[in-house]
Chains A and B, each alone.
Chain A
Amino acid sequence: MRSRAGRFAIVGLLILLPLLLQQIDDYILHIAIIIGIYAILSLSLNVIVGYAGQFALGHAAFYGIGAYTAALLMLHGSASFWLALAAAAAVTGLFGLLLGSPVIRLRGDYLGIVTLGFGEIVRLIFVNWVDVTRGPMGLPGIPAPSLFGHAFTEKIEFYYLILALVLLTYFIINRIVHSGIGLNLLTIREDETLAQSVGIRPNQYKLLAFSLGACFAGVAGAYWAAYISYVSPDSFRYLDSVNILAMVILGGTASLPGSILGAILLVLAPEILRYMNDYRMMLLGLAIILMMIFKPSGFWGEKHRKYNFYGLAQKGGRK
């Protein structure tokens, strides 16, 4: 079992990392930031796919809705980044609820297809609603976040911002999945009839998972808009949804450290394999297939799950 001290050590290391590497270059920081964004996305998708067991394929849509919401608010509403961040989370959460309500009645493949359709519709809206989104040209010139009058310009500042957001996301999702709610979600995933027969309302909890997952994807989107200072429909394609899903599955469903591991692996791998040019995507595909065959529960799968949510059984059980 990982101790509290271990967790503090990891966080401490992440805070000090840029300082330790004195001559850190912007490229490495950029990769670290992208890992952070995808960590939030895969953590949030894990709530929907891993815990609630809803095989959703449209996560990039929530990411995009968050990004556009924040971008439009900052550009036209001249809202601060922090307000835009909160608004993006709320708006995408609401969209999660909207998508969730029809979709939770579906199962398996059908759910996959509908969420995939949702992702495509949202992307097409970004492309075609030219009056608002400027279509494929995107929205440039999004102002950088500022804190106490100091505007973020350096990459290092963005690194700390995303680190804080990842930690916040991890903290909140971790608390939720290790509560009665998480237990309910796992029960629904395993057996809905059983869940009902012990007094759980499956639909209510599936909706909760959808809006929670969407909400944090919106946070990632808002950050992305502010970091790149430009949003366009190209960043929120079907391929991105699949990529996030691959992170969740590769890292391990229903495992939060797994999601982060998945994000690290799938952001790093294409960068490391860059010298192989055209072959890198093929290799990545092969790696995922092999993974599915030999280790279907992911690198850090549920086997590592902390048993007994309330942590009391060990005392009671080993007298």
Chain B
Amino acid sequence: MDELLKLEKVSIRFGGLHALTDIDLSVRTGEILAIIGPNGAGKTTLFNLLTGIYRPTSGTITYKNRVINKLKPYERVKIGIARTFQNARLLKNMTVLENVLVAHPQCNTESVLEAIFLTGRRRERRAAIAQECVEVLKAVGLDHKLDVLAGSLPYGEQRLLEMARALVTRCELLLLDEPAAGMNPAEKKQLVEKIRQLSREFNIEIVLIEHDIGLIMNISDRIVVLDHGVKIAEGSAAEIQQNPKVISAYLGGEDDWD
């Protein structure tokens, strides 16, 4: 299987704190990979490494056979890595459509002259850009709320809007940071289906961090377990459930997976 993203012996230290140590990881094409682990295991740190907010202290991150250790966040977006945040980060005083427009590569690279001399061709281009954004919003099911301020959306829809924003960057790898946090069971069920559907429809690989074990078991093709900055297990849902290391690290010895 092809490896889209590959981490080799990646470590990061903050002063004396070893946040992540020698992580080996790969994301293969066509799969949904979940990263789980107890609080403070280094999941979000790992995400920040993948999106370029942090740089690894040692090790290499390879994306499409290219080492991307030093690429800045905006450069990683250009090569196809997009993300959502743990607590929906939206432009709360702007409309749903604007929140998506801002991520569109042709909207946020408009030049000054193009903006001043607004030619007919540019106007048409803008209409097309907005239309593309509407299409993506349709895919996540928010196209009936284009003019609503993002801050006034219910929480579940804010998460969907974040996903739409990430998708419009035309990413190939989508990183979801706790997409189901704060959702009720019904919303979670919908979310799982939505993620599967988007993964197929846009042909993207998805890496997600999640706390909800039920959701993880349901959605992911493969699971990586972190604890105290070290990868302790990797495998399918069934394998992870059986792994004694995971059980002791994650659950403190108790077995309540369902």
Contact B115 A200 (CB under 8 A): no
Contact B114 A308 (CB under 8 A): no
Q: How large is the interface on A (under 10, 10 to 19, 20 to 34, 35 or more residues)?
A: 35 or more
Contact B101 A309 (CB under 8 A): yes
Chain A interface, DSSP helix/strand/loop, else mixed: helix
The residue among A191, A302, A310 with the most chain B CB atoms within 10 A of its own CB is: A310
**Interface status of B121 (Cβ within 8 A of chain A):** no
With the chains together, A197 CA to B82 CA distance in Å?
7
With the chains together, A190 CA to B90 CA distance in Å?
9
| Residue ID in chain B nearest A198 by CB atoms | B103
Q: Which of B24-71 contact A (CB under 8 A)?
A: 51-53
With the chains together, A307 CA to B116 CA distance in Å?
19
**Interface status of A201 (Cβ within 8 A of chain B):** yes
Contact A186 B91 (CB under 8 A): yes
The residue among A179, A184, A318 with the most chain B CB atoms within 10 A of its own CB is: A179
- A contact residues around B115 at 8 Å (CB): 175-176, 178-181
Contact B127 A312 (CB under 8 A): yes
Closest Cβ of chain B to A150, distance in Å, is 29
Pick from B77, B95, B102, B127: contact of A307, CB under 8 Å: B95
- B contact residues around A201 at 8 Å (CB): 72, 74
| Residue ID in chain A nearest B106 by CB atoms | A180
**Interface status of A1 (Cβ within 8 A of chain B):** no
With the chains together, A145 CA to B101 CA distance in Å?
44
Pick from B94, B108, B131, B147: contact of A200, CB under 8 Å: B108
Q: Which of A287-319 contact B (CB under 8 A)?
A: 302, 307-310, 312-314, 316-318
Pick from A179, A184, A193, A312: contact of B131, CB under 8 Å: A312
**Interface status of B83 (Cβ within 8 A of chain A):** yes
> A189-204: contact bitstring with B at CB < 8 Å (1 yes, 0 no)?
0110111111111000
- A contact residues around B78 at 8 Å (CB): 199
With the chains together, A188 CA to B240 CA distance in Å?
41
Q: Which of A181-223 contact B (CB under 8 A)?
A: 181, 183-184, 186-187, 190-191, 193-201, 208, 212
Contact B98 A183 (CB under 8 A): yes
**Interface status of B186 (Cβ within 8 A of chain A):** no
Pick from A172, A212, A302, A313: contact of B97, CB under 8 Å: A313
Pick out which of these stretches binds chain A: B4-12, B13-21, B138-146: B138-146
Contact B102 A198 (CB under 8 A): yes
| Residue ID in chain A nearest B77 by CB atoms | A199
Contact B73 A197 (CB under 8 A): yes
Contact B109 A180 (CB under 8 A): yes
**Interface status of B118 (Cβ within 8 A of chain A):** yes
- B contact residues around A176 at 8 Å (CB): 112, 115-116
Pick from A172, A183, A193, A200: contact of B89, CB under 8 Å: A193
Closest Cβ of chain A to B104, distance in Å, is 8
**Interface status of B110 (Cβ within 8 A of chain A):** yes
Pick from B130, B143, B165: contact of A312, CB under 8 Å: B130
Q: Which of A6-47 contact B (CB under 8 A)?
A: none
Contact A196 B73 (CB under 8 A): yes
With the chains together, A314 CA to B146 CA distance in Å?
8
When A183-B107, A184-B108, A190-B91 are in contact, do A200 and B127 touch as well, CB less than 8 Å?
no
Contact A180 B72 (CB under 8 A): no
- A contact residues around B83 at 8 Å (CB): 197
Contact surface of A with B, Cβ cutoff 8 Å: 172, 175-176, 178-181, 183-184, 186-187, 190-191, 193-201, 208, 212, 302, 307-310, 312-314, 316-318
7 nearest CB pairs, A to B: A179-B115, A180-B110, A199-B77, A198-B103, A196-B73, A317-B146, A313-B146
18 pairs of residues in contact across A and B, judged by CB atoms under 8 Å: A180-B106, A180-B108, A180-B115, A183-B101, A183-B102, A187-B91, A190-B93, A193-B73, A197-B51, A308-B98, A310-B126, A312-B97, A313-B134, A316-B146, A317-B143, A317-B144, A317-B145, A318-B147
Contact surface of B with A, Cβ cutoff 8 Å: 51-53, 72-74, 77-78, 82-83, 85, 89, 91-95, 97-98, 101-103, 105-110, 112, 114-116, 118, 126-127, 129-131, 134, 143-147, 165-166, 169
Q: 13 other contacts beyond A195-B74, A317-B147, with CB at 8 A cut-off?
A: A176-B115, A180-B115, A186-B94, A194-B89, A196-B74, A198-B102, A199-B78, A212-B112, A307-B95, A312-B127, A312-B134, A316-B131, A317-B143
